[in-house]
Structure 1
Amino acid sequence: MLDLKLPELTDYKPLTDAQIAGFRKNGHVLIPNILDKDEVAAYRDVINEAANKHNTEKRKLEERDTYGKAFLQIMNLWEVDQQVKKFTLAKRMGKIAADLLGVENVRIYHDQALYKEPGGGFTPWHQDQYYWPVDTNNTVTMWMPLIDITNEMGMLTFASGSHQAGFVENVAISDESETMLERYIKEKGFALEQPAAMQAGDASWHYGWTLHSAPGNLSKDTVREVMTVIYIADGAHVTPPQNKHQENDRQRWLCGLEPGELVASKLNPLVL
């Protein structure tokens, strides 16, 4: 294990009124320079080491289905690595999440390292909150590249304003969700927005209901390294699962909490 004096990330980064208003109107916002170059380099090392250690995907890229080709996904690294825990529970990012949502405090739902390999496939249209059995719309995913990336490497694409529709289709991320949700987006006329590039330490933030996708990684030899953290407003309750994925999440990320109980298991600590 790397033995580093990691940056604390306990200071706050104030947001502008325009950033907050844009997030709430469009369902997503790009906030630059949340981590500086030295900070992101330090955390990139520990996140990559932990992800490599805990990655369980052994199949070759061509042997996987659409979901498997979209990215390598290593979840809840903070639970098994004390150095990654400093990133996932960082007050700097937690305060941004709370300010965007307009709440006093947020809890962690889970983190995910998402690595789109060279030649990796597209990420189908989906809503993150399809998977979450919670009774609040005050949920947000932070998506932070650990290296500089361009749109040819698999940049997120958002359907602006789609969060306002809430739950759309009871369908997991798949070829089916790509077809169904792309048709829905065209019918509703949502504008599509995608950054041209992001620097390491920038982060995009999107509501749990914001429809989003990503193209494949067209680069020949560069892995798109991204770390994500999902935040939920404090005070949310567990809802009866609406699909098998929500039941899996209830058991795993909510430690089996029953419907009606507060989202406050040992895996959902307060951040601020």
Structure 2
Amino acid sequence: MEKSLPTGASGGLPDLNDSYAVAREQAESYRENGHIVLRQVASAQEIAAYRPAIADFVRKQNTHSKPLHERDTYGKAFIQIGNLWTKDDASRAFVLARRFARIAADLMGVDGVRIYHDQALFKEPGGGHTPWHQDQIYWPLDTPNMITMWMPLVPVSEEVGSMTFASGSHKLGYISKAVISDESHRTLGAYIESKGLEKANYGALSAGDATFHAGWTLHAAPGNPTETMREVMTIIYFADGVKVAEPDSNARRNDLEAWFPGLKPGDTAASRLNPLVFSRY
């Protein structure tokens, strides 16, 4: 099997390639509920070292030119910058960290994971809510073994909190093709109520805490009523060896082109943008 990509930190940044112990009970809880919070996945000192460079890069890449009140629901939800690891050295060391990747593999119970892509999701002061949605409607991969790490780079207060998850919804697979929108919030919110799914929010988070959720897990996030930016980095992983699926929507066709350059349905999902970041072998 291809070896994990070396990811030693550079420029004096802390190395993030050691292990974080995931207890069996935590992995079982993740697989049952489709989400979990793990505390201090990165230490305060590590975040303090990485955050300035990542936040500065996001500010430089931000393309929003309209004030919040002139944007649609999606535009109000967050500043969204993807694949930082290919453009910025500090982001590369953070995103390709073996520590984070091994947690993803341990929670899913797989032997290796690759990067799908990363995203900085910065919710501005006064920023709007993130509607209910399933991430995997965008992803042209037919597997239950996809997971997102969502890690704040700053403390998140109780009034902002973590994302809210519909527990057990990942077991239902595909529910709706509705992309993130007012429509998805309305229809999926009604679906959650009709199924009696329990909603979970982990409340206040410290910088370096992280939630992990499955690709099919229904989730949403509240708005940001505070005067400080909610700075979050996300990394999406998938199990090594997965095949590219035939895209059945424009969203999946767009993602196939963007995140799997040169690949077609039936190919192993392993383009130059999908490095192997953890392997047990």
TM-score, normalised via structure 1 length: 0.97
Partner of 1:40: 47
State whether structure 2 residue 214 is matched by structure 1 residue 226.
no
Q: Is the 8 A contact 1:154 1:224 kept in 2?
A: no
Tell me if 1:117 matches 2:132.
no
Could you list the runs of 5+ residues in structure 2 that have no partner in the other structure?
A: 1-9
Residue 252 of structure 2 aligns to a residue whose secondary structure is helix
- RMSD over aligned CA atoms reads 1.0
Aligned to 1:126: 133
CA contact (8 A) 1:117 1:217 kept: yes
The one-letter amino acid paired with 2:253 is E
Cα distance change of structure 1 residues 59 and 65 upon mapping to structure 2, 3 Å threshold: same
Deviations, residues 117-163 of structure 1 (Å, cap 9, x unaligned): 11111100001111000021100000000011024225300000000
Deviation at 1:4, TM superposition (A): 4.1
Shifted more, 76-85 versus 138-147: the winner is: 76-85
Q: Match of 2:12?
A: 5
Secondary structure of 2:131's partner?
Answer: strand
In 2: Cα distance, 1:46 partner to 1:131 partner: 29
Q: What secondary structure, in the 3-state scheme, does the structure 2 residue paired with 1:143 have?
A: strand
Match of 1:265 in 2: 271
Mapping of residues 198-237 of structure 1, within 5 Å: 198-219=205-226, 221-237=227-243
In 2: Cα distance, 1:135 partner to 1:177 partner: 22
In the alignment, the residues of structure 2 paired with residue 39 and residue 165 of structure 1 have an alpha-carbon distance, to the nearest angstrom, of: 37
Name the SS of the counterpart of 2:220 in structure 1: strand
- Assess if the C-alpha contact under 8 Å between 2:151 and 2:209 holds in 1: yes
Match of 1:73 in 2: 80
Pair 1:255-2:255 in alignment: no
> What is the distance in 2 between the residues matched to 1:118 and 1:256?
39
Please state how far the C-alpha of 1:256 moved relative to its aligned partner: 3.9
Q: Give the Cα–Cα distance (whole angstroms) in 1 for the partners of residues 25 and 111 of structure 2.
A: 20
Q: In structure 1, how many angstroms separate the alpha carbons of the residues matched to 2:66 and 2:116?
A: 28
Moved >4 Å (runs of 4+):
none
Pairwise CA distance, 1:22: 0.6
Mapped contact 1:33–1:201 kept (Cα < 8 A): yes
Q: Which of 84, 94, 99 is the aligned partner of 1:92?
A: 99
- Matched residue type, 2:265: P
Q: Distance in 2 between matches of 1:202 and 1:15?
A: 14
* Aligned with residue 53 of structure 1, among 56, 60, 71: 60
* Cα distance in 2, alignment partners of residues 47 and 168 from structure 1: 34
Matched to 2:24, the amino acid is D
CA distance, structure 2, for counterparts of residue 79 and residue 55 of structure 1: 16
Secondary structure of the residue that 1:46 maps to in structure 2?
Answer: helix
Q: Is the 8 A contact 1:122 1:154 kept in 2?
A: no
Identity of aligned residues (%): 52
- Aligned equivalents of 2:62, 2:271: Cα separation in 1: 25
Q: Does 1:82 align with 2:57?
A: no
2:110 corresponds in structure 1 to: 103
Q: How many residues align?
A: 269
In the alignment, is residue 185 of structure 1 matched against residue 174 of structure 2? no
In structure 1, the residue corresponding to 2:276 is in which secondary structure? coil
State how far apart, in whole Å, the 2-side matches of 1:136 and 1:181 are. Answer: 22
Distance 2:58 2:243 in 1: 30
Equivalents in 2 of 1:87, 1:173: separation in Å?
27
CA displacement, residues 31-65 of structure 1 (integer Å, 9 cap, x when unaligned): 00111111011111121011112222222111110
Whichever residue aligns with residue 74 of structure 2, its letter is Y
- Equivalent residues of 1:157, 1:192 under 8 A apart: yes
